[in-house]
Homo-oligomer: A and B are copies of this chain.
Amino acid sequence: MSGTLDISALQERLRRFAADRDWEQFHSPKNLAMALSVEAAELVEIFQWLTEAQSAELDDRTRAAVAEEIADVQIYLARLADRLSIDIPEAVEAKLALNARKYPADEVRGSAAKRSGHEER
């Protein structure tokens, strides 16, 4: 559905956007991680009083609000990766391989227990 995202081009545009506004001074990795987590929380905020079922059946206005927060997260994620020269597609590939080893389908089928944070860490 979503096609491909040209992360290099996005990062180049974000670099120029920040430079034009003299905002590089604010864009330390520490600050960008904070900003990213704030945008993630704005996503959570949309869902916090909805049931799980309701969260899968959003009205158009709420869905548009979710799309905007998803964009914010994606933008800060690309910007943070750029500042640290981290290659997102490569990191995703490595993580998918790790997850496949960590959660063998036969062992974890249907179980959330194996996925809970306390087990996982």
Considering the complex, which residues of chain A in the window 43-100 have a beta carbon less than 8 Å from any beta carbon of chain B? Answer: 43-53, 55-56, 58, 62-63, 65-68, 70-75, 77-78, 80-92, 94-96, 98-100
B residues near A50, Cβ cutoff 8 Å: 30, 112
Tell me if A117 and B38 are in contact (CB < 8 A).
yes
Tell me whether chain A's interface is mostly helix, strand or loop, or mixed. Answer: helix
Nearest B-chain residue to A108, judged by Cβ: B21
Considering the complex, which residues of chain A in the window 19-33 have a beta carbon less than 8 Å from any beta carbon of chain B? Answer: 20-23, 25-26, 28-31, 33
Most central of A5, A58, A88, A95 by chain B CB within 10 Å: A5
Q: How far is the CA of A25 from the CA of B41 in the complex (A)?
A: 22
